[in-house]
């Protein structure tokens, strides 16, 4: 009897009790422009730091030759190390940008499953699937 009522309601409301699967593609906001701007800004700053570091190294080496003090050589060594680390950061920034671009290329899909029907039909459907061994 409830099937007859459900069927009549379906006919009146022009709906179907079939299970429909729909896949919706969720598009994330594109931050490529922001990434490129930040990358260019960071890269430019690191280049400036390396260039200034090179100038400072040239100056400290002249000072080392003139004074021949151990402290001046120690400072020169630390400065050379710092400039080298800054140059490595340039490579790290480039690597991180490539990873972010690779990450941005992934498509994320969200599946929305809609069941239109009564709870008793749903229970029957679930019991049937459980008996068949699939969930």
pTM: 0.51
More confident residue, 117 or 51: 51
Q: Find out whether 26 and 111 touch, Cβ atoms under 8 Å.
A: no
**DSSP classification of residue 133:** T
For 104-130, how does the pLDDT look when each residue is reduced to its tens digit (9 = 90+)?
Answer: 666 566 667 777 778 888 888 888 888
Q: Where are the domains of the chain?
A: 15-132
What CATH architecture does domain 15-132 belong to?
Answer: Orthogonal Bundle (1.10)
């Amino acid at each position: 009897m409830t099937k007859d009522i459900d069927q009549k309601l379906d006919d009146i409301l022009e709906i179907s009790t079939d299970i429909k699967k729909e896949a919706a593609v969720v598009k994330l906001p594109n931050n490529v422009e922001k990434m490129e701007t930040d990358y260019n800004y960071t890269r430019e700053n690191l280049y400036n730091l390396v260039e200034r570091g090179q100038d400072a190294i040239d100056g400290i080496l002249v000072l080392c030759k003139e004074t021949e003090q151990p402290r001046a050589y120690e400072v020169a060594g630390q400065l050379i190390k710092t400039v080298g680390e800054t140059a490595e950061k340039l490579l790290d920034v480039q690597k991180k940008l490539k990873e972010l671009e690779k990450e941005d290329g992934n498509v994320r899909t969200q599946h929305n499953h809609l069941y239109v029907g009564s709870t008793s039909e749903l229970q029957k459907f679930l019991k049937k699937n459980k008996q068949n061994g699939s969930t």
